[in-house]
């Protein structure tokens, strides 16, 4: 059975997230339905993603893999998929890969971008795609606090209470504040993340940007290893999975 790797972008607005669920439309379910349509297979096509994005979270470079019972031209695959997908979901690339390739466990880095619109008036155009904060944010203070979180730490303070990861220890390779037109973005890169880790970190860094927290407060929160010690969870609207990399040793299956 040939195995294929696809790259997907999607607008998470109105979706329950990546994972197939009973309470609404998901990216995974839409892709599996499209796969069945383009192949005519009578059995379910299981599509496995590199990561599970939450409801309302977007993606520019999500990656997934699946097996088919017959050959299929990878060049034709994106347009074939897209003919059966809602407008909010698009397959942008496809390739045939080795039979042992796994979109999740072979990923060696994941990159996210969290966009914040920082002006007095909310956007009529980017509703659902940014977090609007009307009070001015101190970018330098946010970066100084972000620097305290780079490296390998117990991120219990910044994980969701229902996070299912076996260990709260993660290595944050990049946590950078970048300027954007009329705002800024939080860039995060790591091999893997805890559930809500980026949104909880972003919500905390915004407290610093507003002058309500200091970098020392962020260090103290990290050391507390308790979600109660952290800042608020940022809304999903501004979060984008931008890329997934595959260039090293597979991660452990947790």
The DSSP H or E segment spanning 243 is strand 239-245
Positive or negative, the CA dihedral 238, 244, 249, 252 is positive
* Nearest Cα residue to 52 out of 236, 231, 228: 236
Q: How far is CA 118 from CA 52, 122, 186, 229, in A?
A: 28, 9, 13, 25
User: What would the two tokens of residue 253 be?
Assistant: 């299956």
Pairing of β 89-97 and β 109-117? unpaired
Distance CA 135, CA 45 (A): 48
> 54 catalytic, yes or no?
yes
Question: Which residues lie below 8 Å from residue 109, measured CB to CB, with a gap of 6+?
Answer: 173, 189, 190, 191, 243, 244, 245, 247
Could you tell me which residues are beta bridge partners of residue 109?
Answer: 245
* Nearest Cα residue to 222 out of 164, 159, 167: 159
User: What would the two tokens of residue 47 be?
Assistant: 């599509």
Indicate which residue of 11, 22, 54, 87 is catalytic.
54
Q: What are phi and psi of 66, to 5 degrees?
A: -165, 165
Would you please indicate which residues are annotated as catalytic (active-site) residues? 54
């Amino acid at each position: 059975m040939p195995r294929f790797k696809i790259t997907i972008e999607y607008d998470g607005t109105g979706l329950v997230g990546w994972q197939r669920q009973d309470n609404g439309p998901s990216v995974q379910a839409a892709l599996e339905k499209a796969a069945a349509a383009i192949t005519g297979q009578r059995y379910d096509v299981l599509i496995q993603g590199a990561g599970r994005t939450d409801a309302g979270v977007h993606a520019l470079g999500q990656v997934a893999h699946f097996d088919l019972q017959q050959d299929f031209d990878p060049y034709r695959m994106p347009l074939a998929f897209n003919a059966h997908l809602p407008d909010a979901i698009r397959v942008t690339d496809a390739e045939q890969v080795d039979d042992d390739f796994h979109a999740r466990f072979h990923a060696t880095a994941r990159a996210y971008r969290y966009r914040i619109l920082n002006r007095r008036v909310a956007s009529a155009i980017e509703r659902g795609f940014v977090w609007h904060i009307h009070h001015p944010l101190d970018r330098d203070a946010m970066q100084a606090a972000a620097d305290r979180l780079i490296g390998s730490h117990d991120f219990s303070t910044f994980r969701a209470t229902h996070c299912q990861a076996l260990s709260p220890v993660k290595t944050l390779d990049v946590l950078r504040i970048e300027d954007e037109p009329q705002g800024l973005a939080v860039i995060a890169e790591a091999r893997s993340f805890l559930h809500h880790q980026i949104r909880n970190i972003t919500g905390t860094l915004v407290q610093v940007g507003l002058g309500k927290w200091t970098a020392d407060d962020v260090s103290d929160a990290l050391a507390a290893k308790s979600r109660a010690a952290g800042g608020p969870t940022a809304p999903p609207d501004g979060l984008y999975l931008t890329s997934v990399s595959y260039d090293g040793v597979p991660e452990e299956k947790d």
